Amino acid sequence: MKRIWRAFLYSLAGFKAAYHDEPAFREELWLAAVLVPLACFIAPDDMSLIVMIGSILLVLALELVNTAIEATVNHISMEHHPLAKKAKDTASAAVFIGLINVLFTWVVILL
């Protein structure tokens, strides 16, 4: 139980750091704060609700991974390097695909 509690506290610290330091995470979190309750009202059934909310949570998770990759790359070196750029750009692309997934999911379910 002690290990689980510490892991929980580390996760809270990660949320706090991302919210404090990452404008994109803040924006996506606020968007989620609007979309999740909205999904509860407009989802046509329980399975649709799960998928709609899941697509939003996936974006938040991808943004946290993107933030971790950027922080790691920056910690290693602030010099411009093609591999550092590739790591950051591909992590950003993952978030973008997650956002497209939200849009696609919501459009398909609601139309």
Residues 6+ positions from 59 with CB-CB distance below 8 Å: 28, 32, 95, 98, 99, 101, 102
Domain ranges of the chain: 2-110
Told to judge if 63 belongs to the known catalytic residues of this protein, a careful annotator would answer yes
Residues 6+ positions from 57 with CB-CB distance below 8 Å: 32
pLDDT in tens, 36-60: 999 999 999 999 999 999 999 999 9
pLDDT band per the 50, 70, 90 thresholds, residue 13? very high
63 burial (CB, 10 Å; 0-12 / 13-18 / 19+) is: buried
pLDDT band per the 50, 70, 90 thresholds, residue 4? very high
CATH entry, 2-110, from 3.40.50.2300, 1.20.1260.10, 1.10.760.10, 1.10.287.3610? 1.10.287.3610
Per annotation, catalytic residue among 27, 28, 63, 70: 63
How distant, in Å, are the alpha carbons of 82, 84, 89, 90 from that of 79?
Answer: 10, 9, 15, 18
**pLDDT above 90: residue 100:** yes
pLDDT in tens, 57-70: 999 999 999 999 99
